[in-house]
Amino acid sequence: MGNLIKVLSRDIDNNAGNFFLDFENAQPSPAEQQVWEEVNEVLTEALVVLQELQAYSGAGEEIRQAIQRPGEERVQEQAWAAVVPLVGKLKKFYQFSLKLECSLRSLLVALTRSGSSPTQHLEHEQALARQFAQILHFTLRFDELKMTNPAIQNDFSYYRRTISRMRINNLAADEGNEVNNELANRMSLFYANATPMLKTLSDGTTKFVSDNPDVPIENTTDCLSTMACVCKVMLETPEYRSRFASDETILFCLRVMVGVIILYDYVHPAGAFVKTSGIDMKGCIRVLKEQPPSSVEGLLNALRYTTKHLNDETTSKQIRNMLQVN
C-alpha cells in the first residue's frame, strides 16, 4: 500500500518505489463495481463517437453547390439531404457530452469521498481512476479531431440557415430530423468552443465543487494534482515506462496528465501555474517536451490556449517561456 506514497514523494526522497498505476488492466473491486459498470457503458459509446467523428467528412461540396446555384431546387435538395444526417451525428455528439459529464461526476463522487486521501483513493480504486483517465483521454482526442475539422461548424451553420429559411417560407422540415431551436442554440455554443468536450468537463468539475459544499475543494484539487503527479513520474521513469504493454499508453498517459492539469486550473482558485500549486508544472512541461514534437504539439497547445490562469501575473516567467511557441 505504501508504493503509491513512494511514487508521490519520489522527488523528495529519491525512492521510486514499485508502484504502477495500471491504466491498461486495472479491474474493479466489488466496491467499485456499480459505478464502474455505469461508466463503462458510456466509455463503450465513446469509442463509437470517436470513430464517427474521425470519419466525419462533411457536406462541403454539396453546400458550395447550393450556395452557388440558389435557384436550382434539385441542388438545394441534394445539399439538404447531405446535411440532415450529419446534423443528426452532431446532435448525438453533443448529447454524448452530457452523458460524459454525468460519468465524470459519478467518478468524482467516488474518488473525492472523505475518509481517504487522494493517494489512498487512487490506490484502492484503480479501476475508477483508470476510467477517469479514459474520460480525459477521450476528451482531448475528441477535441483534437474537432479542431482540425472545419466542416462541423460549416455544416451546422448551413443547417440553421436553411431551417430558418424554411420556417420563414412555411415549408415543413422533416420532423424526425429537426433540431429544435433551444437544442440548436446549445449545440451552437458547444461547437463554437475550440475544445468543447474539455469545456464540458471543466464546467462539470467546477459545478461538482459548487454543488457539494460539504466536500472540501481540496478533495477534488488534490485528486487531480495526485493524478498529474503519478502520470508525470510514470512517464519520466524508465522502470515504469518499460511496463507499458503498448506505446499508445505513453500518449494516453500524456493526455491524462494534461487533462487533469486543465481541470485543476479551472477548479483551484489560484490555478495550476502558481508556485504554491499542487502540480509540478515545470516537470510536467519538461516531460511533454521530451516526447516527439508531432505527438505532443496538440497537448502543449491545450495548455497554452485552453487553461484559465496561464497568463496571470502569478505565473512564473520560466513557465511562460517553456510554453512559448518555438
Q: Which residue has the higher pLDDT, 49 or 325?
A: 49
Cell 498529474 identifies what position?
Answer: 228
Mean pLDDT (whole number) for 256-263: 94
211 closest CA partner among 136, 102, 312: 102
DSSP 291: S
pLDDT value for 4: 44
pLDDT value for 106: 94
Q: What is the tens place of the pLDDT at every residue in 9-63?
A: 434 333 322 356 788 888 999 999 999 999 999 999 999 999 999 999 999 999 9
Mean pLDDT (whole number) for 242-260: 90
Q: Cell numbers for 215, please give them.
A: 466536500
Confidence of residue 324 (pLDDT cuts 50, 70, 90): confident
Q: pTM of the entire structure?
A: 0.87
Spatial distance between the Cα atoms of 290 and 253, rounded to a whole number of angstroms: 14
Q: Which CB contacts under 8 angstroms, 24+ apart, belong to 234-238?
A: 234/7, 234/20, 234/21, 235/287, 236/283, 236/287, 236/290, 237/10, 237/16
Q: What is the tens place of the pLDDT at every residue in 111-161?
A: 988 777 877 888 788 999 999 999 999 999 999 999 999 999 999 999 998
Please state, rounded to an integer, the average pLDDT across all residues of the chain: 87
pLDDT value for 165: 80
Residue 240 has pLDDT above 90, yes or no: no
Share of the chain above pLDDT 90, in %: 60
